[in-house]
């Protein structure tokens, strides 16, 4: 398995991974998955800003992706990023998330970010556990702010200082 910078040609794999999570999980509150063109543009835009967009490969296939973007558009948030991480469903539980998130934390610090925020849709227990394993602490919870699959869902905020 290997972690590397994403390239535009990874858009199809990223789209497929995300589409599965849109259709089957509450990790994202999206109800319709963006197409491959959206992901190609997203990869290009993130990389153009000097921010990390990473993929993890297993057996030569993209098995997950993660990226960090500025938390909010206002200049005051320039040193704070929000992460996004998704693992292909068949690869979940194999330790790829820990490897990928650790690489993202490192890359985000090198990109100049000082704080990383995880916004965890549905308070997904696996995502909360993954982030906790890497030192993130819960910074807040918005209760019942989402609705998906007929369920009211919380959003959990977790935070990590990147320059300790």
Spatial separation of the C-alpha atoms in residues 84 and 90, rounded to whole Å: 19
CA dist 70 → 51, 117, 162 (Å): 9, 10, 14
Spatial separation of the C-alpha atoms in residues 147 and 55, rounded to whole Å: 29
Q: Residue 97: name the closest of 65, 51, 138 by CA.
A: 65
Model pTM?
A: 0.95
The structural domains of the chain, ordered by start, are 2-161 (3.40.630.30)
Spatial separation of the C-alpha atoms in residues 44 and 6, rounded to whole Å: 9
Residue 164 has pLDDT above 80, yes or no: no
84: helix, strand or coil: strand
Spatial separation of the C-alpha atoms in residues 51 and 39, rounded to whole Å: 15
Banded pLDDT at 157 (limits 50, 70, 90): very high
What pLDDT digit, counting tens, does each position of 24-72 carry?
999 999 999 999 999 999 999 999 999 999 999 999 999 999 999 999 9
Query: How many CB atoms sit inside 10 A of residue 129's CB?
Result: 10
For the chain, how many residues are written?
A: 164
């Amino acid at each position: 398995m290997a972690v590397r910078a994403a390239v535009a040609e990874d858009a199809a794999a990223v789209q497929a991974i995300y589409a599965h999570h849109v259709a089957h999980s509450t990790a994202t509150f999206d109800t319709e998955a963006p197409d491959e063109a959206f992901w190609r543009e997203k990869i290009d835009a993130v990389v153009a800003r000097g921010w990390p967009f990473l993929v993890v490969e297993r057996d030569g296939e993209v098995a997950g992706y993660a990226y960090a973007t500025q938390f909010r558009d206002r200049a005051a948030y320039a040193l704070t990023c929000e992460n996004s991480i998704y693992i292909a469903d068949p690869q979940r539980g194999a330790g790829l998330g820990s490897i990928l998130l650790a690489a993202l934390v490192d890359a985000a610090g090198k990109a100049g970010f000082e704080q990383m925020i995880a916004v965890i849709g549905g308070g997904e227990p696996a995502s909360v556990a993954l982030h906790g394993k890497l030192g993130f602490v819960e910074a807040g919870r918005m209760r019942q702010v989402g609705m998906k699959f007929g369920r009211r869902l919380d959003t959990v905020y977790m935070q990590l200082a990147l320059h300790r």
